[in-house]
Structure 1
Amino acid sequence: MQQKDISVSHPHSQEAPPARRTRLAVHAACLTALLAGGITIPSPLFSPVAQAAESCRSHVATYVMEVTPGTGWTNVAKPRLLRKYVDWDPKNGDTNGTMLDTGKTGQIPYGSRVFTGGQGVIYEITNEGVLKSYKDKTDTGGSLLTPARTYDVNWTTRKRVWSNGSRIFSVHEGGKLEVFKQSDPATGAGTVSLLGTLPFDRPGVLAFKNADDVWAAGNRIFTLKDGEIRAWDYREEGTIPVLPDSGVLLASGLTDAVNGWSPGPGSVYTATSAKDYSGIVRSYTGTTALALANDDVMTGLYGDVFADTASCLVDAPDTKPVLGSMPTETETPPSAVTDDTPDSEPVNPAQFSGKFVLGDGRPAAGMTVRVEADNVTEESDTETELTTLGTATTASDGTWKLELPATLAASVSSAAAENGGAVNAMASVMGKTSTGVPMRGVDHVTAAPATAPATAQALAATAAEDSAKPVPVLPLSEDTAPQPTEQEYAQSWGAQQEALAQDTLGDSPLPMWQSDVGNPSTADPYIVGGVDTKRMSIEPYDGGCDKTSEKVIDKKTYYTTVAEGHAYWDAKASVDYDQKLASNVEVAVKTGSNWSVQGSVTLGSSMSVTTGYTNRGPHFAKQWKVPIQYKKIKMIWKCGGGNTFTQYKIQAGKYHVPAGGATGKYGKDVRNKDGMTAYYNSPKSHRAYVERGAYFQLSKNRSIKWSGAVTAFGVTLGGSTQFDREHKQRITAGMKSGSRHDIWGKNDRVSGKPGIFFSF
């Protein structure tokens, strides 16, 4: 049977529960307090409720009214999506299972409120106060919201509503508690009649009104208020509702919980707020005492949760969690093995290369390219003139190439040595239109001499692949605005992406333009003074341009994604990122008030530490991040004898652990990429399996490119890692029988160049 308190139909009403909608942010002290005994859990937890018509269940449907992360519960002005999950192991709080996204959804109209009644029954109170019931028939191929009945009653005055199936509880706008009887709880199509009321001054009624959340399981009503869960034993004397004078304190110290529910006796779940982007689900189990079962059942659950409560729960089957029947495969995928074949000949790592284009996509042909060394280890904030490594001319297709000089200046050689042997450089072209608009293109490129270590050469070859992407020549406008504050950076689109608990970007393209203080700009940077410069030809400045001078104006450490591991059913995940950096991270350059990605730098500096995670799982998948220092750099140069120009860029530097900071830490949750649906949507050629008790690892070629690897100074940058003997992704299969452990590559077969692999 079901339970649930409700979202508010009139947000400004006195009866609305705003505290629930702005509940406290997540912090690790909650878990620490529980493990240390700081959370008190008296007993008993549940009183068994007889439900002869229902059999015990090993998994239970769970519905989420989704909201946009960061907006919390305030945005009710548009239709919302009701999504169905399946709680695979509710008896044990998902210690042996997972929350499976069924992909089944239903649209909830503007202003409507929802609660559930168990056995697949879902209720809606429309904005006009009409009560409707639906039956979830997705298990038999039907709709999530199959209409059952529309009731000829007005429920506008019911401000908080929940149900245990046979009873519907409502806190009236006047404060009293009304109890209604549903004559057919199995279908939700029976008559709903008022059984009785309790006055507003009863302790239980006041608790229900003021709680952050209310739900029911069997004959118990639960309240969540300021981190405390209390239980109120409900009974009836004839047709008179009866509540005790006080609720039993079951748990305290759950300071980040805003939402609660119970899939059945002996199991309680809580969720943190979508407003602070966390969306973490925790579970607690027990019959005489409530104990933490899983502190991370799910991450990235954003919305109000309504569980389809069972009258009793049993252990989930000790098999791979699947929904329905798995599709029949005509052939068995191969056993996962490491590819021992040699790599194909890479792009010449000792050569800088790139391509410049005009605003309309035409090649920027015949332009002089100046290539200047980026001293990534430079700590000084004084203005420094960069060392020119050479010049080249763009060909008719806009491409250019420059061999790395055989002899390097001492400062460049020293910087390369500190960077694992790779030389980072900035390639730029400069000119003006016939109307005098200054135009500049900037790309960041990498090369490595033949004497450099293999990892540096591999990273340089990867950078060469990236440099094949055309870089636009842009109008150059002076930015005279003051540097943003930390509070202003926090308002940027990039900061919002960084705050999300799940990786929603993957390897999808970033916006062409980003703002470090707000949403991505849609303005056309080629419109200068009302004139479109896209198709204008570019001519050089008379007298050319000076070398670039750079000055570091700000430095800050940001944790950057460098690895990702996956382990589904009966498996463990490990990632290693050892001894030195082995990543390419994009560089952002500012044009006017907009930032855009213009090339990348290779990071190979020594870390002198081993970082990563080992044997995490089952049902685990997270990214791994390491601290890298980023610099905001002011670039200055002169052209045509006296015209001074300024630009800014954001560039990654070396591994740097801040005082009191972590040497590495978990990043975004990526469990949504694993499981049955993702496996059967993958190309068959990418699939393989791992034998029981065996392991498989990636230890060569490039990882995927994470589009949201880091947000530095309000701007999101992508990055990738080079796999080798010190940088690996590994999965270890368990010994359970009955199902093989399947994996598949993101971009290729697992023995080819998959980037990373996923798990089922």
Structure 2
Amino acid sequence: MSTYVLETAPGPVFTDPAKPRTLRKYLDWDPKGGDANGTIIDTEKTATVAAGSKLFSSGRGVIYEITSGGVLKSYKDETASGGSLLTPVKTYGTGWNSFQRTWASGGRIFGQAAGGEIAVYAQSDSAAGGGTITLLASKIASTSAAAVAIGVSDDVWMAGSVIYTLRSGEITAWPYSERTAGLPPNQIVHPGVGAGTVIGSGLNDAVLAWSPGPGTIHTSTGSNDYTGIIRGYVGTSSLTLANAEVKAGLYGDVFADTATCLADMAEGQPYFGTRPDDGGAPVVAAPSEDDQDPAPEGSRFFKGRFTLGDGKPASGLQVAVEATDVGADDGSTAELPLLGTATTGADGSWSIPLPAQLPQEVQLAADANGGAVNAVASAMGVTSNGVAVNGVDHVSAAPNTAPTAVRKLVGSAASDDVGRAAKLFPLISDDSPSAPEPSDAEYAKSWAYEQERATVDLTDGKPIPEWQNATGPLPVNYDPYIVNGVDTKGLAVTPYDGGCDRTKKVVQSKKIYYTAVAEGHAYWDSKASVDYDSKLASIVDVAVKTGSNWSVQGTSSLGSSMGISTGYTNRGPYFAKQWKVPIEYKKIKETWKCGGNNTFTRYVVAPGGYKVPSGGATGTYGKDVRSKDGYAGWRNSPQANRAYVSAGSYFQISKNKSHKMAGAVSAFGVSLSASTQYDKEHRQRITAGTNNNERHYIWGRNGSVSGKPGVFYSY
């Protein structure tokens, strides 16, 4: 059953009436069952709707538009036969914008005026939407219970001969009838509405509702942002929840191509048009869990590369590498232990080995982190016009004695960093005390907060922005290299005269945030499982403040033992969710002196260990990522990445690392990314059903599913 969404990208444009909007067509795959075994699928068919227009449908693919000038127009959805979504049919008269509410069903169009009275019109050609529209002689009085309820409702719609209203979480059904007894066929009939019956209550998060047909109702929790969750209900006299999350992230005004009756859901994999050849996708079977990659060589080295602001190598600068996972969290100041120094080469690169004998406090921190040592590499210099610059990179290393899984984790962090460089940024001396911790209300204004609040993945595989503001929107035209009106990014940099002392740190704040570490996908007739067992095995970004804004400057490897198991098992069909675990994050103030008396300050947001809050969850569901699955995703995927799972079998990833999930967490108003090392305890699995004994297609995001896919999607 067709479902239409008149959408506008969330944000300020919602309040801008001058911006056109997009009408998008979806298909409700299991309307009769309230999508207990289905979902609402994007057909990728769209149309542009003029600013200020209102849309509603009457069934059979007929869609009406009331323009900003009050003109009524009818259209036909011809996408099923290769035509356009809004194929023009007929233009009617003006004055339709006098109605505060309009809706339709079959051959009847309803309009409620501001005073509450409801006019009813007859459409002589309801199948095509191009007939004569005639006002019925009798209107529904404004004083009737139905008119009053409709006037104050959150939403109104119709299915068959029943008008429905949604008001403060309560759905009421109002039977509609027309009196025709004794009237000649050529006379207009007279409408009437019976007493309303409450068929659903307690739906307190519902702001929109619609019906694909009699006996089924869908509600949405949001209409003007990305948080909207669609729920499916069935029943006529009393609603029963069929699916608590049919789909997430639909935003805008939703209306359905309501049918007079509903059929059972179609069997087989849904697709639109002609399904292309699968390209000879090979069958895949789950690899043996003993078939593991060897631990990477070189994981005991800290290494990186520094550049100037314009991307040219920052050569000849001393790099100091200091351990970061040390010190108390009680507000006391700790000095970071020095692990070694190096000088950047001609290409800006540097490398130092992990000391064979670690300082005691560093060794204790590494033991608690599964053997991984996290550190900060700093390079200090001065431009040709005397501006101090500093480069920061957060890196990890692990000794050869560390468990293989931890060495793989550190090695995968290093492989993520291939080609990445840390830039030098201008520094300004700062001896003032730090600013007060921003309030939750201030953090709620940040871009990171909006990403966290959304029920769907807004990044769509894109990296997070280079700069973020923890208490506001993304900075525009931010350039940290302009100092006293001079652009310093391309100026020559030499070592800072007199050198710098050891970095001191104090933990200003710490807080637990649930962080996405894995995800599973299961489309038609399949089940998804995610295992995140026994130990923490993730790589998470570290953010550093430069001026008034934050940027990601390296990562931390989290390999501590959890001693628990978490994840989800056999969820589906039409299911894809990220899995989140609680990780404690710290906001840290770091200070150091250079040249004898110049004090410099930087602020850092860094991940710590796995920590379950008192009374909190050991793990929880994250964002809905079903948009990555389905026919369109498979059709657009590289053929080399495709494979299929035979009916009744399963496939899983249990080696290499996951893809980097942008926006995996929002900590202290800063959005950070994360990835996970796959192994015996960290897996993504799909189990194929046996419906029609059909193949279940999967494809890797980054490559072949038998190579290094990062994550696999499902169709």
Q: Fold conserved (TM > 0.5)?
A: yes
2:505 is the alignment partner of 1:563: no
1:502–1:752 CA distance, 2 compared to 1 (3 A)? same
Q: How does 1:114-193 map to 2 (within 5 A)?
A: 114-193=55-134
> Partners in 2 of 1:515 and 1:188 — Cα distance?
51
Percent of residue pairs bearing the same amino acid type: 55
TM superposition shift of 1:365:
0.6
> Partners in 1 of 2:70 and 2:693 — Cα distance?
51
Q: Which residue of 2 aligns with 1:387?
A: 337
Q: Which residue of 2 aligns with 1:328?
A: 277
TM superposition shift of 1:290:
2.2
Which shows bigger deviation, 81-90 or 144-153? 144-153
- Superimposed CA distance per residue, residues 24-77 of structure 1 (whole angstroms, 9 cap, x where no aligned partner): xxxxxxxxxxxxxxxxxxxxxxxxxxxxxxxxxxxx100001133466964534
Which shows bigger deviation, 245-254 or 436-445? 245-254
Q: Which residue of 2 aligns with 1:712?
A: 667
- Superimposed CA distance per residue, residues 591-621 of structure 1 (whole angstroms, 9 cap, x where no aligned partner): 0101010000000112121110011111100
2:485 is the alignment partner of 1:530: yes
2:70 is the alignment partner of 1:102: no
2:201 is the alignment partner of 1:269: no
- Partner of 2:692, secondary structure, is coil
Contact 1:337-1:751 at 8 Å conserved across structures: no
> Partners in 1 of 2:244 and 2:711 — Cα distance?
26
- Superimposed CA distance per residue, residues 535-564 of structure 1 (whole angstroms, 9 cap, x where no aligned partner): 111222322100100000000000000010
Q: Which residue of 2 aligns with 1:498?
A: 452
Contact 1:336-1:751 at 8 Å conserved across structures: no
Q: How does 1:635-650 map to 2 (within 5 A)?
A: 635-650=590-605
> Partners in 1 of 2:634 and 2:71 — Cα distance?
42
> Partners in 1 of 2:103 and 2:579 — Cα distance?
40
Q: Which residue of 1 aligns with 2:376?
A: 426
RMSD: 1.7
Residue identity matched to 2:164: F
Which shows bigger deviation, 584-593 or 536-545? 536-545
- Superimposed CA distance per residue, residues 665-702 of structure 1 (whole angstroms, 9 cap, x where no aligned partner): 00000011111111111111111111222111111101
Contact 2:316-2:495 at 8 Å conserved across structures: no
Residue identity matched to 1:556: K
2:353 to 379, 403, 420: 403
Contact 2:283-2:646 at 8 Å conserved across structures: no
Residue identity matched to 1:471: A
- Partner of 1:700, secondary structure, is coil
- Superimposed CA distance per residue, residues 202-249 of structure 1 (whole angstroms, 9 cap, x where no aligned partner): 211111111110001111111111111111111112435443453111
- Partner of 1:680, secondary structure, is helix
Which shows bigger deviation, 596-605 or 76-85? 76-85
Contact 1:70-1:277 at 8 Å conserved across structures: no
Q: How does 1:200-349 map to 2 (within 5 A)?
A: 200-238=142-180, 239-244=188-193, 246-275=195-224, 277-338=226-287, 343=293, 346=296, 348-349=298-299
- Partner of 2:514, secondary structure, is strand
1:71–1:542 CA distance, 2 compared to 1 (3 A)? closer
Residue identity matched to 2:392: V
- Partner of 1:626, secondary structure, is strand
- Superimposed CA distance per residue, residues 417-475 of structure 1 (whole angstroms, 9 cap, x where no aligned partner): 00000111100001222322221000000000000001111111112123330111001
> Partners in 2 of 1:530 and 1:71 — Cα distance?
32
- Partner of 1:737, secondary structure, is helix
- Partner of 1:456, secondary structure, is helix
TM superposition shift of 1:277:
4.0
Structure 1 stretches lacking a partner, 5+ long: 1-59
> Partners in 2 of 1:612 and 1:396 — Cα distance?
46
- Partner of 2:690, secondary structure, is coil
- Superimposed CA distance per residue, residues 491-545 of structure 1 (whole angstroms, 9 cap, x where no aligned partner): 0001101111101214312111110011121211100111100111122232210
1:548 to 468, 485, 503: 503
- Partner of 2:136, secondary structure, is strand
- Superimposed CA distance per residue, residues 85-124 of structure 1 (whole angstroms, 9 cap, x where no aligned partner): 0001100011222211000111111111111111111111
Q: Which residue of 2 aligns with 1:447?
A: 397
Q: How does 1:330-729 map to 2 (within 5 A)?
A: 330-338=279-287, 343=293, 346=296, 348-375=298-325, 378-468=328-418, 469-477=420-428, 478=430, 481-521=435-475, 522-729=477-684
Contact 2:175-2:195 at 8 Å conserved across structures: no
> Partners in 2 of 1:604 and 1:142 — Cα distance?
55
> Partners in 2 of 1:343 and 1:485 — Cα distance?
46
> Partners in 1 of 2:47 and 2:255 — Cα distance?
14
1:321–1:378 CA distance, 2 compared to 1 (3 A)? farther
Structure 2 stretches lacking a partner, 5+ long: 181-187
Residue identity matched to 2:153: A
1:154–1:202 CA distance, 2 compared to 1 (3 A)? same
1:752–1:330 CA distance, 2 compared to 1 (3 A)? closer
> Partners in 2 of 1:69 and 1:246 — Cα distance?
38
TM (norm. structure 2) is 0.95
> Partners in 1 of 2:279 and 2:580 — Cα distance?
40
Residue identity matched to 2:308: L
Contact 2:652-2:684 at 8 Å conserved across structures: yes
Q: Which residue of 2 aligns with 1:15?
A: none
Q: Which residue of 2 aligns with 1:16?
A: none
TM superposition shift of 1:345:
7.6
> Partners in 1 of 2:173 and 2:18 — Cα distance?
34
Contact 2:200-2:238 at 8 Å conserved across structures: no
Q: Which residue of 2 aligns with 1:57?
A: none
TM superposition shift of 1:155:
1.2
> Partners in 1 of 2:534 and 2:224 — Cα distance?
38
- Superimposed CA distance per residue, residues 384-420 of structure 1 (whole angstroms, 9 cap, x where no aligned partner): 0000000001110111111111111111111110000
1:332–1:595 CA distance, 2 compared to 1 (3 A)? closer
1:720–1:432 CA distance, 2 compared to 1 (3 A)? same
> Partners in 2 of 1:377 and 1:301 — Cα distance?
46
Contact 2:176-2:194 at 8 Å conserved across structures: no
Q: Which residue of 2 aligns with 1:86?
A: 27
Contact 2:22-2:47 at 8 Å conserved across structures: yes
Residue identity matched to 1:400: W
1:145–1:471 CA distance, 2 compared to 1 (3 A)? same
- Partner of 2:93, secondary structure, is strand
> Partners in 1 of 2:569 and 2:327 — Cα distance?
31
Aligned length, in residue pairs: 701
1:335–1:464 CA distance, 2 compared to 1 (3 A)? closer
TM superposition shift of 1:577:
0.7
> Partners in 1 of 2:267 and 2:239 — Cα distance?
24
Q: Which residue of 2 aligns with 1:42?
A: none
- Superimposed CA distance per residue, residues 277-305 of structure 1 (whole angstroms, 9 cap, x where no aligned partner): 42111111124542111111111111111
1:111–1:584 CA distance, 2 compared to 1 (3 A)? same
TM superposition shift of 1:334:
2.8
Which shows bigger deviation, 534-543 or 614-623? 534-543
